[in-house]
């Protein structure tokens, strides 16, 4: 199975994401980046079939010293997402982080139009934490619907279009010992079964986690900010699979610091949840190219891939993704 990094959306991505999440808004990368990246903008976030609202972030590289760049939030853009199928256009609202007096932590306060009440998300500290975050005000992720993204910033217009491919249900999840190569045998690894949608090419993105996507009231913002450098995401094309897939090993993702395969699986006594997202071929290809570049440099820490194209027009780095997902979990008990 091919592996992927969480390129959601700018790699530190950073998941990203995930994840991102996902990650701190204060991110470092080398200064010898091409001008088109240094002058570009970075887009992160997605619309899922999970509960709204959905959060997005726009950032740009900002020189802080002779040796480092950091991303800083863009707060003067206009982001519009339209559900073309339903005829609903949503101009996203900019959220300004709020800091309690005497505290180093900031919070994002927002109106949850699904629960119809004000809520907040603590984001921790950080000079740029939570900057450039935009939130939907009436959008729902619905399978089969087509969505457009429009970003207006500094006189430029960036667009993207994606359709939410219906989810594929995971029919079975269990754990099993596997030899992951290089003379290392995993104590265990998750394997799943599912039935492909017939007569179409299917592309999937998997997440391996210790918790359900429903653990957090607003999962999209969790993935946006709370990621680390080891992305538990993997991608798969069904090109060489049959309609019925049984006992497929789910990769634990890409280790950017040459961490051994299997290191990201939850340990004994933990739960494991597998989330299976249906993604478009365009998104799959972007992830696939990002993986190729990451592996080309030997797995060393790499910023946003410079040769990977986005599905957003213009000088924008990241992916506009709309994903329906299914999920299955179990408790991992290897004591017997």
Q: Tens digit of pLDDT for each residue in 96-131?
A: 988 777 666 788 899 999 999 999 888 766 555 688
Question: Does 191 fall in a domain?
Answer: yes
Residue given tokens 């919070």 in the structure block = 107
The tens digit of pLDDT for each residue in 157-187 reads 999 999 999 999 999 999 887 766 666 555 6
> Going by C-beta distance under 8 Å and a sequence separation of 6 or more, which residues neighbour residue 322?
46, 47, 48, 141, 145, 147, 162, 163, 164
- pTM: predicted TM-score of the whole model, two decimal places: 0.81
Question: Does 90 fall in a domain?
Answer: yes
Domain with 229, as residue range(s), is 3-331
Question: Does 336 fall in a domain?
Answer: no
Residue 135 · residue 53 · CB < 8 Å = yes
- For the chain, the domain total comes to 1
- What is the pLDDT of the chain when averaged over all its residues? 77
Residue 206 · residue 276 · CB < 8 Å = yes
Please choose, from the candidates 55, 13, 43, the residue with its C-alpha nearest in 3D space to the C-alpha of residue 311. 43
Question: Does 49 fall in a domain?
Answer: yes
Q: What is the DSSP string of 127-140?
A: TTTTTTEEE-SS--
> Going by C-beta distance under 8 Å and a sequence separation of 6 or more, which residues neighbour residue 273?
207, 208, 209, 210, 211, 212, 213, 327, 328, 329
Return d(Cα 247, Cα 174) in angstroms, integer: 8
Higher-confidence residue of 253 and 16: namely 253
């Amino acid at each position: 199975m091919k592996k992927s990094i969480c390129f959601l959306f700018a790699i530190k991505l950073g998941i990203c994401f995930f994840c991102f999440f996902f990650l701190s808004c204060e991110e470092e990368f080398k200064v010898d980046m091409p001008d088109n990246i240094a002058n570009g903008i970075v887009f992160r976030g997605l619309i899922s079939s999970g509960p709204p609202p959905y959060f997005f972030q726009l950032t740009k590289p900002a020189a802080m010293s002779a040796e480092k760049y950091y991303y800083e939030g863009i707060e003067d853009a206009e982001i519009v997402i339209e559900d073309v199928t339903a005829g609903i256009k949503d101009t996203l609202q900019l959220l300004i982080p709020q800091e309690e007096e005497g505290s180093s932590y900031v919070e994002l306060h927002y109106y949850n139009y699904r629960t119809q009440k004000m809520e907040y998300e603590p984001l921790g500290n950080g000079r740029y934490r939570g900057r450039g975050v935009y939130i939907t005000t009436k959008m729902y992720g619905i399978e089969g619907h087509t969505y457009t993204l429009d970003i207006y910033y500094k006189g430029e217009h960036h667009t993207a279009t994606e359709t939410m491919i219906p989810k594929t249900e995971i029919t079975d999840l269990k754990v099993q010992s596997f030899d992951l190569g290089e003379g290392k045998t995993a104590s265990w690894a998750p394997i799943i079964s599912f039935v492909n949608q017939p007569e179409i090419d299917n592309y999937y993105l998997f997440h391996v986690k210790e918790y359900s996507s429903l653990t957090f009231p607003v999962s999209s913002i969790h993935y946006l900010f709370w990621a680390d450098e080891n992305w538990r995401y993997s991608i798969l094309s069904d090109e060489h699979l049959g309609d019925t897939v049984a006992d497929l090993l789910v990769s634990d993702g890409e280790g950017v610091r040459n961490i051994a395969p299997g290191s990201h699986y939850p340990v004994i006594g933990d739960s494991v949840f597998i989330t299976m997202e249906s993604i478009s071929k365009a998104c799959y290809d972007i992830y696939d190219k990002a993986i190729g570049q990451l592996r080309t440099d030997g797995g060393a820490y790499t910023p946003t891939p410079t040769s990977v194209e986005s599905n957003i027009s213009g000088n924008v780095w990241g992916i506009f993704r709309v994903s329906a997902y299914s999920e299955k979990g179990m408790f991992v008990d290897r004591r017997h």
